[in-house]
């Protein structure tokens, strides 16, 4: 076990790193962030910010030498850099799991080979592959770059072969994955913590809604039957065990009209939907991340209050600084801003957690605040 005041390291310094840093420092740990951005949201509040490129060997060696353990803030990091850090100290989760999460085709293949339910998919290397696959799925699919630069990047809904070819060429004919289009009844997420010893603690299932491809609203508890909830949590736990995972793991799931659960995405880190755990749960997903890094037992994942998490994108800054009065006039709303200096359309700038006795009331508070903050 690693106890305070040991030093924990993180490569990547965005908002997830910022919330990790808040949790770690409040628990008595020191935190070092490696990130090239001089205004990194996490770096500005960490004990030390190594401002350097993710491939800088000297910076990586410094981080590894100073820290008892290191983690990755997000999955699209150079795997060679994580492997170099492993020469100095433990890296959790393992770089191999992070590497799998970087490649949509590798991720889907792993799930298929280990009998985890997911949507039908096809590897696309050439236009000939695309023509054959589009015939098999009756020309209804989602074409995605296999290795996106960031979550949500490089994806096109396609309904005809011509649309698919245009999308493939727009993506410069990079290796892609074509997935069957699923019309989900609900979109869910499971966030869990798994220790190095294999102990698992999962949060209640979260229900999510999206707008223009971005997460808009997350609700807990999800409005699903108890048996579906149990199945989703069991599925996530089985996957974590199969990966021999250590850290916080998140699964995005489709719930179909036939009550079938399909895994959409594996995320080897805290999830945006899990932001609500900071105010609504006994131990947040970021406290769990600290605990898993340090070999401590998982904290309590009990939901203490129904909650709605409203994502705040840079869109609401288009006409100037938002009027925060409506948020602070709502006693059950908790504002979290990420310290980013520049707002732009689609950029995640913060979120609001709304608490209530029941999820419908929490959602109503969140929706009223969304309307009040809209430009």
Q: At 243, which helix (H) or strand (E)?
A: none
CB 161 within 8 A of CB 141: no
Q: Report if residue 110 sits inside a domain.
A: no
156 plus 237 within the same structural domain: no
Domain containing 127: what range? Answer: 120-180
Residues 149 and 201 in one domain: no
Nearest to 123 by CA among 109, 102, 138, 139: 109
DSSP code per residue over 152-178: T-SEEEESSHHHHHHHHHHTTT--EEE
Separation between Cα atoms, residue 17 and residue 40, nearest integer Å: 9
Assigned domain for 115 exists: no
Task: Write phi, then psi, for 25 (nearest 5 degrees).
Answer: -70, -35
Are 262 and 348 within one domain? yes
Does one domain contain both 26 and 168? no
- What are the tokens at 254? 């489709």
Distance CA 166, CA 139 (A): 14
Nearest of 134, 107, 113, 114 to residue 122 by alpha carbon: 134
Q: How much helix, strand and coil, in percent to the nearest 5, is found in the chain?
A: 35, 25, 40
Asked, for residue 101, whether it belongs to a domain, the answer is no
What pLDDT is attached to residue 375? 76
**Domain contains 109:** no
- How many CB atoms sit inside 10 A of residue 33's CB? 30
Give yes or no: residues 190 and 318 share one domain: yes
Output DSSP code: residue 273: G
Count other Cβ atoms within 10 Å, centred on residue 325. 9
Q: For the chain, how far is it from start to end, CA to CA, in angstroms?
A: 49
Distance from the Cα of residue 158 to its chain's centroid:
25
Q: Are 273 and 366 in the same domain?
A: yes
Angle between helices 15-26 and 285-293 (to 10 degrees): 70
Q: Which residue, 279, 274, 303, is CA-closest to 289?
A: 274
For residues 75 and 12, the answer to whether their CB atoms sit within 8 Å is: no
Q: Are 188 and 205 in contact (CB under 8 A)?
A: yes
Q: Domain boundary residue among 180, 207, 225? A: 180
Give me the pLDDT at residue 212, please.
86
pLDDT tens digits along 145-168: 999 877 667 889 999 999 999 999
Note whether 171 and 298 are same-domain residues: no
| Global pTM value | 0.95
What is the sign, positive or negative, of the torsion defined by CA atoms of 274, 250, 68, 84?
negative
Which CATH number do you get for residue 254?
3.30.470.20
Note whether 13 and 149 are same-domain residues: no
Structure tokens at 40: 């990194």
**168: nearest Cα among 178, 180, 159:** 178
356 within a domain of the structure (yes/no): yes
Per-residue burial over 134-152, b if 16 or more Cβ lie within 10 Å, else e, is: beebebebbbbbbbbeebe
Q: Judge if 57 and 139 occupy the same domain.
A: no
Please tell me the predicted confidence (pLDDT) of residue 335.
98
- List beta partners, residue 354: 308, 333
CA angle 181, 265, 344 (to 5 degrees): 90
State whether residue 207 is helix, strand or coil: strand
The pLDDT assigned to 144 comes to 95
Q: How much is the pLDDT for 139?
A: 65
Claim to verify: residue 164 and residue 191 sit in the same structural domain: no
Looking at the fold, whether 235 and 318 belong to one and the same domain comes out as: yes
pLDDT above 70 as % of the chain: 99
Residue 209: predicted pLDDT: 97
Q: Say how many domains are in the chain.
A: 3
**Which residues of the chain fall short of a pLDDT of 70?**
139, 151-152
């Amino acid at each position: 076990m690693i106890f305070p005041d040991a030093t924990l390291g993180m490569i990547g310094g965005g908002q997830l790193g910022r919330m990790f840093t808040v949790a770690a420092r409040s628990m008595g740990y020191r935190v070092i962030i490696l990130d090239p951005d001089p205004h990194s949201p996490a770096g500005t509040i960490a004990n030390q910010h190594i401002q350097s490129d993710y491939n800088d060997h000297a910076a990586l060696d410094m981080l590894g030498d100073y820290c008892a353990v290191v983690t990755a803030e997000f999955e699209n990091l150079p795997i060679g850099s994580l492997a170099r850090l492993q020469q100095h100290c433990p890296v959790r989760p393992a770089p191999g799991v992070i590497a799998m999460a970087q490649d949509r085709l590798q991720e889907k293949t792993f799930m298929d080979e280990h009998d985890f339910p997911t949507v039908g998919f096809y590897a696309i290397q050439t236009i000939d592959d695309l023509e054959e696959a589009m015939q098999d799925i009756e020309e209804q699919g989602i074409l995605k770059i296999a290795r996106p630069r960031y979550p949500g990047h490089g994806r096109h809904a396609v309904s005809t072969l011509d649309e698919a070819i245009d999308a493939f060429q727009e993506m410069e004919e990079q290796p892609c994955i074509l997935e069957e289009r699923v019309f989900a009844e609900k979109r869910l997420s499971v966030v869990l913590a798994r220790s190095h010893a294999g102990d698992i603690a999962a949060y209640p299932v979260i229900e999510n809604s999206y707008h223009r491809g971005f997460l808009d609203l997350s609700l807990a508890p999800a409005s699903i039957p108890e048996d579906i909830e149990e199945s989703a949590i069991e599925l996530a736990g089985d996957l974590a065990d199969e990966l021999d995972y250590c850290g916080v793991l998140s699964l995005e799931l489709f719930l179909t009209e036939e009550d079938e659960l399909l895994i959409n995405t594996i995320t080897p880190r805290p999830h945006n939907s899990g932001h609500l755990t900071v105010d609504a749960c006994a131990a947040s997903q970021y406290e769990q991340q600290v605990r898993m890094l340090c070999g401590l037992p998982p904290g309590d994942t009990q939901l203490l209050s129904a909650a709605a998490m409203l994502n705040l994108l840079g869109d609401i800054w288009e006409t100037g600084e938002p009027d925060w009065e409506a948020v602070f006039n709502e006693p059950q709303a908790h504002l979290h801003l990420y310290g980013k200096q520049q707002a732009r359309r689609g950029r995640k700038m913060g979120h609001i957690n709304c608490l209530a006795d029941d999820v419908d009331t929490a959602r109503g508070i969140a929706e009223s605040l969304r309307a009040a903050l809209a430009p």
